[in-house]
Amino acid sequence: MRTDGNDIMCDLVVFKIGEREFCINGEDMLENRAWTPTTPLPHSPRHVHSLTTVGGITMPLMDMSDCLGLGRADPIKRHAVIVALHGGRLAALLVDSVSGRVSVPAEQIQPVAGAGDNSKSSAISGIAIIEDRMVCVVELDAMFGAYGSEAA
């Protein structure tokens, strides 16, 4: 978050899964890259798709579609990977595409009623109104929980 005059602005990275739009805090994104083949991880949690290496660091590739209850992704070249660092945890997030970065006033992010009632909805902390669209704000604390790797 940053302050512009009296307004508190939130920097968000917007991504798509299917036709739905989601976003994460822009401060958490280290890199946006194209999907490349990865290494399967036997006996991993369902939403940990595989392992990937970025800049010589191996990290889990988390299937954001599965994390958000939208079904498992079958990655192809058009998919994207967001490398994120949050709370000392590093992970790669598999998404369909990255739309870009936006700054919105904090008052344009509204809490979600009933968030936290189950494991899927606890990942959504709010709805950001971006232009004429409602974009779900993904809470990386819920995503990274026990599955992000320690940052080097």
pLDDT in tens, 37-87: 888 878 877 778 788 888 888 888 899 998 888 988 887 788 999 999 988
As a whole number of Å, the CA-based R_g of the chain is 15
Segment 6-27 mean pLDDT: 92
pLDDT: which is higher, 60 or 115: 60
Neighbours of 85 (CB within 10 A): 18
| pTM (2 d.p.) | 0.83
* Sequence letter at residue 84: A
Partners of 105 in beta bridges: 9
Q: Are 45 and 33 in contact (CB under 8 A)?
A: no
In 3D space, the residue among 17, 132, 107 whose CA is nearest the CA of residue 64 turns out to be 17
* Coil vs helix vs strand at 135: strand
Average pLDDT, integer, range 104-120: 74
**Looking at the predicted structure, is the pLDDT value of residue 119 above 70?**
no
- What pLDDT score does 78 carry? 87
What's the pLDDT score for residue 135? 96
Q: What is the pLDDT of residue 151?
A: 43
- Residue 140 confidence class, pLDDT cut points 50, 70, 90: confident
Rounded to the nearest integer, the mean pLDDT of the chain is 83
Given a cut of 80, whether residue 1 has pLDDT beyond it is no
User: 27: number of CA atoms within 13 Å, CB side?
Assistant: 8
Could you tell me which residue, 137 or 4, shows the higher pLDDT?
137
